[in-house]
């Protein structure tokens, strides 16, 4: 009798262990929907509601996709991951806060693709890179961050980092792109993008960092380029730069 009870208890514990492990498993691909629920497993048929809800259920180097248009909330990223908004408007409304904070290790890679990041006039920063690693922002819009520092993209990494911004609109912020070297050398590549109508500058490079421009338009900003403390701006010669501030180096197209 005692042996039977022990066997039943053991079987119950094992079953509970495997059920718990399954419920805590992270998927390589997860989904969010405007009518989702963060209590869901973030599967295609049971999507989550927010990026923050989905990221904890997404494996390292996995991908979060959207099913339909929606507002999916601000998020902090601490691992390699892709957030891809190809199913409609992938909105982040970040009034009074940061839209996306990226704080990852030097070996991590983060992709933000097809996002509509709105600060509503009081947002702090659209995308803030404070870790290391590599960040790609593409096919996105970052607008109206004018609270606090109010940068569209703020790169103040703890060590050397690389950020690529491709086919993106940065509009109506206090500052467009702010790059400040805290340690190491931060490199931001801005290509096929428009930085327009930001109150103070389109791009600022402070310290041992570089902004590389390729096929990009900087217009309607109080200052186009602010370069201090040894910063560098390299233009490939196919950019439109209107306003105060010139690149430190212009490289002819080959």
Model confidence over 9-31: pLDDT tens digits? 445 444 443 333 444 579 999 99
- Rounded Cα gap, residues 8 and 250, in angstroms: 76
Question: Does residue 130 sit within a domain?
Answer: yes
Domain harbouring 191, CATH code = 2.160.20
Domain count, the chain: 1
Q: Is the pTM of this model over 0.85?
A: yes
Residue 41 lies in a domain: no
* CA-based nearest residue to 29, from 66, 70, 3, 1: 66
Residue 141 lies in a domain: yes
Q: Is 236 left (phi over 0), alpha (psi -120 to 50) or beta?
A: alpha
169 lies in some domain: yes
Instruction: Please check whether residue 191 lies inside any domain of the structure.
Output: yes
In a domain, residue 11? The reply is no
Query: Confidence class of residue 157 from pLDDT cuts 50, 70 and 90?
Result: confident
The boundaries of the domain holding residue 139 are 69-250
Whether 99 is covered by a domain: the verdict is yes
């Amino acid at each position: 009798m005692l042996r039977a009870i022990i066997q039943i208890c053991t079987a119950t514990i094992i079953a509970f262990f495997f059920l718990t492990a399954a419920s805590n498993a992270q998927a390589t691909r997860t989904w969010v929907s405007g009518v989702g629920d963060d209590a869901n497993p973030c599967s295609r048929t049971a999507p989550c509601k927010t990026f923050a809800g989905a990221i904890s259920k997404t494996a390292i180097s996995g991908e979060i996709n959207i099913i339909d248009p929606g507002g999916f909330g601000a998020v902090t990223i601490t691992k390699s991951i892709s957030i891809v908004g190809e199913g409609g408007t992938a909105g982040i409304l970040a009034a009074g806060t940061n839209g996306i904070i990226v704080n990852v290790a030097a070996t991590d890679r983060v992709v933000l693709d097809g996002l509509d990041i709105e600060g509503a006039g009081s947002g702090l920063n659209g995308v803030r890179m404070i870790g290391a690693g590599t960040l790609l922002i593409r096919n996105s819009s970052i607008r109206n961050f004018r609270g606090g520092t109010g940068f569209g993209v703020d790169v103040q990494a703890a060590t050397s980092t690389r950020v690529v911004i491709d086919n993106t609109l940065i509009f109506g912020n206090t500052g467009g792109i702010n790059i400040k070297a805290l340690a190491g050398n931060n490199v931001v590549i801005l290509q096929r993008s428009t930085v327009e109508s930001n109150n103070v500058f389109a791009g600022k490079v402070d310290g041992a960092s570089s902004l590389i421009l390729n096929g990009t338009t900087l217009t309607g900003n109080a200052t186009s380029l602010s370069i201090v403390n040894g910063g560098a701006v390299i233009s490939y010669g196919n950019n439109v730069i209107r306003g105060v501030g010139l690149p430190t180096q212009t490289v002819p197209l080959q």
